Chain A
Amino acid sequence: MSPTMTPVIDIQGVEKTYNRRIKALRGVDLQVGEGEIFGLLGPNGAGKSTLVKIMTTVIHASKCQGTVLGKKVGDKAALRDIGYLPEHHRFPPYLTGRQVLEYFGAMSGINRKDRKARASELLELVGMESWHKDKLGSYSKGMRQRVGLAQALMNDPQLVILDEPTDGVDPSGRRDIRNILTQLKDEGRTIFLNSHLLSELEMVCDRVAIMVHGLVSTQGTIEELTADQSGFEIATNAPIDQSLLSQISTLPQIPPILDAKDPTRMTFQTDNAAAVQPAIDALRKQSIIIESAGFKRPSLEDLFMQVVDTNQGDKPGAISGAKGANS
């Protein structure tokens, strides 16, 4: 988060222990700035949903300091400006799409006239205006997800917390949801996304945090997090032997890093193409064919896997059951 940004979420040392033995969260520190799309990633059981539920008062933290929208975590008053779409939500099947929106709008304290206007607006936004009179029981998973997203926006929230919003949604629906998120960001809202779909997050998030075993392992912009591993990659048709690598390393340039798993690839930690030209010349002199050359940044998935692998040894025994502890 940029130091100039107003923090919408600013929490420190969040801990949650179930039944006095299962530690779901072990001291989470997190800051989300106003107007950001923030992605929270993590493997199953990492504590992502627990953290989200603490922020929305569904779960009580064992220990927690900090604020959400300037109010102490757990303060119901903050919920007036928070929209929340839970994972595996189950809205009343006997209600129509419009009735769901109006019901949750009323629960947020919105008056009748505004509720009706807002519901029509949001049904159109999520592409459900044609089905607004049908009961939820007849909706597909994707349609329920769209209505769920609209429900989260009923109170015109400053902070929108979405737990797996694209779960069960088809590719075109996902694109629609991404567009909605971008639109919400443009309106100045802060969006907190909790998702397994790393590619989705990568497309929309300004900043991400990766949670492993109840702790935030790393957080920042995707560029910041992948900066160490980004660079100019050259792929050749044959493995590069040690003598050639030594020769290239002596050239007046940034030293190459040979891919340990694939010796036909080497990376230079620079985004300057001119800096790698001597290496390309050296390879060409040896009649090695250059199959590809270009700037490469690790994907969010690469980063995620790396963080998870790094933290594998950090796994405390009691945490493995945390996901199901509250179910």
Chain B
Amino acid sequence: MILTQTKALFIDAYRELNAKKLFWLTLGLNLLVVVLYASLGINDKGVTLLHWNFESRFFNTALVSKELFYTLQFTQWGVPIWLTWATAILALISTAGIIPEMVSGGAIEPVLSKPIGRSRLFLTKYMTGLLFVALQVLIFTLGCILVMGIRGGAWNFNLLLAVPIVLAFFSYLYAFCAFVGLVTKSTIAALLLTILFWLAIWIVNTGDQMLIMQREGSIIQVEDRQLDIDKQIEFADKRIEQLREQGKPVPGDEGNPLPEGYEDIQEAVNPALRMSRSRLEEAKDSEITWTAWAGRIFTLKTILPKTQDTVRLLERHLITDEDMAKLMGFDAQSQPQNNSENDPAFADPRAAERSAEIMRKRSITWVLGTSFLYEFLLLGLCCVIFVRRDF
């Protein structure tokens, strides 16, 4: 009986999606993007698009294999831009109405009067909403595997990992959408509030990345300044030694007091050290501030679903650390070196490298575990509301 009912709900969801033109429109767009993906290529000079050639120092077959090139396209824009933005928005528009329509007057009574538990009914209906994304991502990914196999010469079925990952990403948003839809019974409210929620998550994620970069930048600055001070102390010590050897007076020695305002002999011998120490203190203060803010946003992010981190799991899986290091090296080379003191984080490619490394090394348990916990709690709340509500 459970299987019959679940199957019926999924078939009904498929029919509902089938009846919506948006499902076919999205599918058409997905196939169009696959065609665009197929039209991209790489040769020994650079990147190709149809018959056009774009010379590149970094993207050519001497440095990047065809397989890595197609994997990169898939992980850099295929999934994070196309699937998790464009397709996700279309999917939300298509599925936002599923729960509000289910609980609307006249539609819910015949279903509730059947021998099916309310929690199971709600959760199955929620799962049917994910069917849209599952079908779209599956078709898109299969298309990309085909392109990579034919054009790139590598049949990488690991790309299929995109299906559960994008599904997990969408399920975070759809859980919120289902919650709003259940409470307000309004498709428009569910859609708009979910998009706002998504925007809020994006802001938190972006804030997290920026703060980590700032923190790492300030740590690097502290390290650099400390190194600079060490060199200056070394220089000062050599100078003191020279002065003593030459029998010249050394400030701070007996009978030759330290000038006012100087901390030690090294400073008195090398006045630039004083300025450097002061700048080190400033950098340490800055590090404390950025570390505190990065910690706060990390806490906030822990309780929220981690949409971007979830999607990045795909990149982690498909692109090896070695390839990533190579690519980061290209990036660092391509960025202009700017040692501006005002914006150390963005000026120093090491900060970007370190922050990318931190993001990449975040534990899968934290990324998925806390996100699924959020989803579990939200869906649990939905079930409580749905079970207790009178229709």
Contacts and interface: CB of A to CB of B under 8 A. Distances in A.
Nearest to A54: B390
A84 B104 CA distance: 17
B110 A79 contact: no
A59 B390 contact: yes
Contact of B109 (A58, A80, A94, A110): A58
B51 interface: no
A111 B113 contact: no
A99 B15 contact: yes
Given A59-B390, A79-B113, A108-B114, A90 B4 contact: no
Contacts of B114: 79, 104, 107-108
Secondary structure at the B interface, as helix, strand, loop or mixed, is helix
A242 interface: no
A283 to B, nearest CB: 57
A132 to B, nearest CB: 15
Contact of A106 (B4, B15, B110, B390): B4
B248 interface: no
Interface in B159-199: none
B116 A76 contact: yes
Nearest to A96: B15
Contacts of A104: 110, 114
B50 interface: no
Interface residues of B, number: 29
Interface stretch (B5-13, B128-136, B205-213, B361-369): B5-13
Interface string A237-267: 0000000000000000000000000000000
Given A76-B117, A84-B110, A94 B5 contact: no
Nearest to A100: B110
Nearest to B108: A58
B113 A84 contact: yes
Given A89-B109, A106-B7, A79 B115 contact: yes
Contacts of A102: 8
B112 interface: yes
Given A90-B107, A109-B1, A56 B112 contact: yes
A168 interface: no
A86 interface: yes
Contacts, number: 89
B16 interface: yes
Interface string B114-141: 1111000000000000000000000000
Contacts of B15: 92, 94-95, 99
A287 interface: no
A80 B1 CA distance: 11
Interface in B4-39: 4-5, 7-9, 11-12, 15-16, 18-19
B361 to A, nearest CB: 47
Given A94-B19, A104-B110, A109 B4 contact: yes
A232 to B, nearest CB: 47
B105 interface: yes
Interface string A31-56: 00000000000000000000001001
A82 interface: yes
A71 to B, nearest CB: 11
A20 interface: no
A130 interface: no
Interface string A296-327: 00000000000000000000000000000011
A53 B391 contact: yes
A79 B5 CA distance: 14
Q: Which of A57, A99, A106, A112 has the most CB of B within 10 A?
A: A106
A79 B121 CA distance: 15
B391 A59 contact: yes
A91 B1 CA distance: 22
B245 to A, nearest CB: 94
Interface in B92-108: 104-108
B111 interface: yes
Interface string B353-391: 000000000000000000000000000000000001011
A60 interface: yes
A326 B390 contact: yes
Contacts of B391: 53, 58-59, 326
Given A109-B115, A326-B390, A89 B106 contact: yes
A76 to B, nearest CB: 5
B113 A86 contact: yes
A103 interface: yes
A274 interface: no
A88 interface: yes
A295 interface: no
Contacts of A203: none
Contact of A107 (B8, B105, B388): B8
A185 B111 CA distance: 25
Contacts of A99: 15
B113 A56 contact: yes
Given A56-B109, A58-B109, A106-B4, A90 B116 contact: no
A198 to B, nearest CB: 24
Contact of B390 (A60, A76, A85): A60
A18 interface: yes
Given A92-B12, A326-B390, A84 B109 contact: yes
A84 B111 CA distance: 10
A151 B5 CA distance: 15
14 contacts: A53-B391, A58-B108, A79-B113, A79-B115, A89-B110, A92-B16, A94-B15, A94-B19, A95-B15, A102-B8, A104-B110, A107-B116, A109-B5, A326-B390
6 nearest A-B residue pairs (beta carbon): A90-B106, A106-B8, A94-B19, A109-B1, A86-B109, A56-B113
Interface of B: 1, 4-5, 7-9, 11-12, 15-16, 18-19, 104-117, 388, 390-391
Given A109-B115, A151-B110, A327-B105, 9 more contacts: A53-B390, A56-B109, A58-B390, A77-B115, A94-B19, A106-B5, A107-B116, A108-B114, A326-B391
